[in-house]
Chains A and B, each alone.
Chain A
């Protein structure tokens, strides 16, 4: 259990090797020497090598999450880059992009550099996303060029929608300079108003102020039009509604610069689950209806939605153990991700395991331009060993995050990451 340094030679034996980049599945061994890939399939490893029997298991790429909140700097009581890294590895993630809504926000080259330096000591690869506007106030553009040079892989004011359409246009236009995506938390704040859950049958029963689906779809539509108009790259985060899916589907037919992600919780739950006033299900954008959930799954199947991202959002117990109106928005999601996504998409929806893995590996990496060829010889190992058939129930003991705000406790999941190798370390669940 836990995190260890890799030995000199490690051989993962007799696994099903799924390579999502070359779209190839073979049976065999993987040799990792000094933390790098030294052989895939057939090779001669030293007799002294440590071996792990992977019979019946899958050996594949480490997962990549384009959307996490590690809360550093500012709220280290919720998460740090180190604790977040452990949560990531427990979920099979070897590479994540951290959102800039920290305190202070990541809105300068210096703050991007702070993350990059701190990330060097972490057991996974951490890429900062820079803020679009200084202090995330929606008014003044950040130094995107300099921030990009320091390692910012995208720009977002996540958590805070860019309400001003002219500002969004300026941001998209300017971002073409560095050719990285703008990620806008798409919720019209005026239409969202005081809404704390999806506006529909359930919110009417509960008397809770509703957040209508069109708060999302109206802004997604605006952003899609602006992306087309400016020629910039747009990545739509955490799509939650059938209406937004519709707009993205239409635009993708003519604009290749648009990508989108969905979270595990938006394809796992529907708003019926909120009848218990469970604050762990209070997220932004909200969990919507069964029809929306079905539309999101369909969008994943047809490629309208490109990838899975967790929107891992740690909060303290006090932030969540309160009345629904006061509870913070967000849930942790790294540790439960694969079991939840695999259960829905493969077990219930009949996708192939290779397709599910691609949604967590090759596809998100392609959006950010991360090196996709992870089984190539000499490359630093980012590898997962997965027991795809394992049925398990998500419990507190599976959480490595510093926060425990998950609605997945007690949920039966399918498929579990057993080993994760990254940055010369190995994490076993």
Chain B
């Protein structure tokens, strides 16, 4: 069992619980290699996937994890227009509560929305991304992938590259990795790295080549196309030349470095297609580990309350 009822974020989350989740996730990884990829662990548990923001990968990953655990799942996708009205959030929450749901997996564009949801309903809440705040399950699958590759997290040198300011993936990774004893360096355009980020015990280095020399692994974030040419990033070619993970740049450094990406990728912008497809990239392992991690999280949070009450 985990110490906290919900998984809202990794800020202040206990290291021993992160380790339990990762260990459990490796057990579920084996399930995914079996011919019949299904266990009855969460039979009778009802989970709603409540997505107030578009998502394909995270939602499918959660859905698969739920199905592999034999949970009953419902999907709710709110249109962005109903989102504008604040009260619909409370109403939606209370409707879900009335329908006797055990757990809610929620994505929402506003930081703190999952915390807000806990004030309205008793169900277990799992944050699948809240605006520019946290994306804890992504960070856990990233840490699981690093653990798989290196056999440890403590002392590992991890660089996160890109738009840190708008990235919940970066923030959750920072909280998780620091808690687990890794070292974190951030790299990206100075205006896309929060001014007060050093308070989170990370290092900032704008020189990508120095960062590559330093790092064991490089987590490359998606650079949102809508930020290009809107005052935040001057142009695609400027970004590529300063911060792009190109084949040429990596060849210049004669060292092994593990490349990660949370997806979806902009091939040819923040990362070359050939780098993404190379052996040093563990991007597809991350995807598979995502299902296993989410199985572990759902199992550890929702387990213990399955179907003993069957008549």
Contact = CB atoms under 8 A, between A and B. Distances in A.
Interface string B66-109: 00000000000000000000110110000000000000000011
Q: For the side of the interface on A, what is the size category?
A: 20 to 34
Output the residue of A199, A204, A321 with the most chain B CB within 10 A: A204
A276 B112 CA distance: 8
Contact of A322 (B89, B109, B133, B194): B89
Output the residue of B87, B110, B133, B171 with the most chain A CB within 10 A: B110
Nearest to B175: A205
A207 B86 contact: no
B133 A323 contact: no
Given A200-B196, A322-B89, A323-B86, A207 B116 contact: no
A324 B111 contact: yes
B197 interface: yes
A286 to B, nearest CB: 14
A318 interface: yes
A189 to B, nearest CB: 16
A270 interface: no
Contacts of A324: 110-112, 116
A396 interface: no
A392 to B, nearest CB: 26
A199 B132 CA distance: 14
A353 interface: no
Interface in A166-223: 199-201, 203-210, 212
Interface residues of B, number: 26
B194 A208 contact: no
A206 B86 contact: no
Contacts of A205: 11, 199-200
A325 B196 contact: no
Contact of A323 (B11, B112, B197, B200): B112
Given A318-B86, A321-B90, A323-B86, A204 B113 contact: no
A207 B132 contact: yes
A277 interface: yes
Contact of B110 (A203, A210, A325): A325
Interface of A: 199-201, 203-210, 212, 276-277, 318, 321-327
Given A276-B115, A325-B109, 11 more contacts: A201-B196, A204-B199, A207-B131, A207-B134, A210-B194, A277-B116, A323-B113, A323-B116, A324-B110, A324-B112, A325-B110
